[in-house]
Amino acid sequence: MFDVIIVGAGPAGLSAALYAARSEMDALVIERFAPGGQLLNIGVVENYPGNFRDERNSFSGYELAQKMHQQAEQCGAYFRIGTVEAIQKEENRFAVRIAGEETLYARAVIVATGAKHRLLGIPGEKEFTGAGVSYCAPCDGPFFKGKKIFVAGGGDSACDEAHYLSRFSPEIVLVHRRDHFRAQKALADRVLNNPKIKVEFNTRILEIRGREKVYSVMLEQNGRQFETAADAVFVCVGIEPEYFPVPELVRDESGFIVTDQTMLTSIPGLFAVGDVRASPFRQIVTAAGDGAVAVHSAVAFVDSFSG
């Protein structure tokens, strides 16, 4: 029996693992792929405090993930690969079933399963995913050196990714459906001041066209529809929570898990942290903060069993 099982090893789960291990809890992290979560898709992490090599260079998301993982493991947290397919609350514990493997038990569970990309849902998007349509600039940007690249969205991700892609091409078109960005001002200003990025407000991508790979997009702008050449479309239109197998949890209208300020969900002993949690602002630093707060609450919960 573990004190706490943490499901997911993105920054929220890794921070929870560190804090749990340092609180002398028996803590197990279960992760489907590799530690890091969405960190693994970030080329350069510029806004995580202290994460810089020198005044010009920050570490990559991959490097930060490795450091977080190593630190939690060195402090005594256990890690294993597996997909959690069911969690059941029993009288004084949770039964956590790993697909194709055993069932493990813990006094408390911290859900840190994160979020995934939302789709545009337009013709051509699915057909050309991997053949010009992408959701990850650091993963696929280098394939489009010198090419005409469209980016869809108006939030932090779209601005971040457009700026990152301008390393590879002088011809980036950022298409946003509104007349202003949703992104933080610093990220929006960086895009607006980047000569390699053309911003098209009040514009939607209606269709992605191609033959084996993308060759154009159909746009709608001020009621006018037209086709224009494109080599790639990076879709950055938000996130939705990863599925978590406890249907009775209270969620918001978009499916994110609702917690109180101690990270407690609607089920005593079950906490949620990071991008899977209903929250107004999602950053690496807020995910890490969530992990620390959840452990603080979980320690009190677990201690209540020892009287």
Active site residues: 136, 139-140
Q: Does 194 bind ligand NAP (CB under 6 A)?
A: no
Task: List the interface residues with ligand NAP, window 155-174 (CB under 6 A).
Answer: 155-158, 160
Q: Among 23-31, 64-72, 234-242, 243-251, which window interacts with ligand NAP (CB under 6 A)?
A: 234-242
Cα four-point dihedral sign 167, 40, 19, 7: positive
151-189 burial, b for 16+ CB within 10 Å, e for fewer? bbbbbbbbbbbbbbbbebbebbbbbbeeeebebbeebbe
Per CB under 6 A, 289 contacts ligand NAP = no
The Cα 120–Cα 280 span in angstroms is 22
Site size for ligand NAP (CB under 6 A)? 20
H helix intervals, 166-245: 185-192
> How many alpha carbons fall within 13 Å on the CB side of residue 195?
0
Among 112, 282, 288, 302, interactor with ligand NAP by CB under 6 A: 282
- By CB under 6 A, is residue 185 in contact with ligand NAP? no
SS3 194: coil
Quick one: 28 or 188, whose CB is closer to ligand NAP?
Answer: 188
Does 238 bind ligand NAP (CB under 6 A)? Our answer is yes
Task: Output 163-166 pairs: Cβ under 8 A, ≥24 positions apart.
Answer: 163/187, 163/190, 163/191, 163/194, 163/197, 164/43, 164/44, 164/137, 164/138, 165/137, 165/141, 165/234, 166/194, 166/196, 166/197
- Does 32 contact ligand NAP by CB under 6 A? no
CB of 154 to ligand NAP, least distance (A): 3
| 281 touching ligand NAP, by CB under 6 A | yes
CB of 177 to ligand NAP, least distance (A): 5
Residue closer to ligand NAP, measured from CB, 88 or 221: 221
Q: How far is the CB of 261 from ligand NAP (least distance, A)?
A: 18
Name which position in 182, 190, 209, 296 contacts ligand NAP (CB under 6 A).
Answer: 182
Instruction: Tell me the C-alpha distance between 69 and 86, whole Å.
Output: 25
| Region from 71-79, 82-90, 253-261, 277-285 binding ligand NAP, contact rule CB under 6 A | 277-285
Which residue lies nearer to ligand NAP by CB, 11 or 35? 11
Q: Token pair 């407690």 is at which residue?
A: 264
134 near ligand NAP, judged by CB under 6 A? no
Contact 212, 131 (CB under 8 A): yes
Q: How many helices (H) and strands (E) does the chain have?
A: 6, 17
Contacts to ligand NAP from residues 60-119, by CB under 6 A: none
In contact, 269 and 108? CB cutoff 8 Å? yes
Rule CB under 6 A: say whether 126 interacts with ligand NAP: no
Residues of this chain that interact with ligand NAP (CB under 6 A) are 47, 120, 152-158, 160, 177-178, 182, 236-239, 281-283
